[in-house]
Amino acid sequence: MSGDELERKLGGNMLIRKNVVKAGEKTIASLAVILLSTLVISGCANKKPPVTSGTGTSAMIQGDDFSKHLEVHNADLAKRLFISSVKSRTSNGLLEVNLQLTSRYEKSQKLQYHFNWFDADGFVIEARKTPWKPLELHGQQSTTLRGLAPNINVSSFNVYVREIPEKAYKY
């Protein structure tokens, strides 16, 4: 409908015509803002953090490649822990390990851990000879667990973590 037709139908009242035109302009402007906002938000949603040389941001996903080193037989506890990094070296023929255990949980956890050591064929070496060590992880905390293989036949490892029941440490 043209402006002249609108003016005739409205009885020549220019004030009404101006208000109708302004309302239409506001609607178009509002739709343009909504469309622009949607485009900006959808454009940012698929962005991944930059991969750098290791200085600044990390390209490693939490728990990626390291979950094979963590053994937990409690499903709830398994959801609250992950290994964020593993470093190993051979020292005097023995495998030496430093791993970073991180809590996803916001509260403190009283835990115990011990290392299991395996030979090249996957057999356990010196089973049950590694002592349980106490560990308290506070909310979102990371800590380094250190382990040294019991002999030179060790080629791999995992760390077994278990929760200490609350009744065991409350008197």
pLDDT (tens digit, 9 = 90+) per residue, 51-98? 333 322 233 344 456 888 899 989 999 999 999 999 999 989 999 999
My answer on whether 108 and 40 are in the same domain is no
My answer on whether 28 and 80 are in the same domain is no
- At 119 the pLDDT is 95
Please state the domain count of the chain. Answer: 2
- At 13 the pLDDT is 54
The closest of 67, 71, 83, 68 to 112, measured between CA atoms, is 71
Task: Please state the rounded mean pLDDT for residues 105-120.
Answer: 94
The whole-angstrom separation of Cα 106 and Cα 137 is 10
Beta-strand relationship, 70-71 and 156-163: parallel
Rank 18-27, 46-55, 69-78, 124-133 by mean pLDDT and report only the highest: 69-78
72-107 as b/e, with b when 16 or more CB fall inside 10 Å? beeeeeeebbbbbebeeeeeeeebebebebbbebee
Paired tokens of 39: 């485009």
Given a cut of 80, is residue 101 above it in pLDDT? yes
The whole-angstrom separation of Cα 71 and Cα 130 is 15
**53 is a domain residue:** no
pTM for the predicted model, two decimal places: 0.58
- At 39 the pLDDT is 53
CB 162 within 8 A of CB 72: yes
Task: Please state the rounded mean pLDDT for residues 31-43.
Answer: 60
The whole-angstrom separation of Cα 80 and Cα 99 is 16
**113 is a domain residue:** yes
- At 45 the pLDDT is 46
Domain hosting 116: range is 67-169
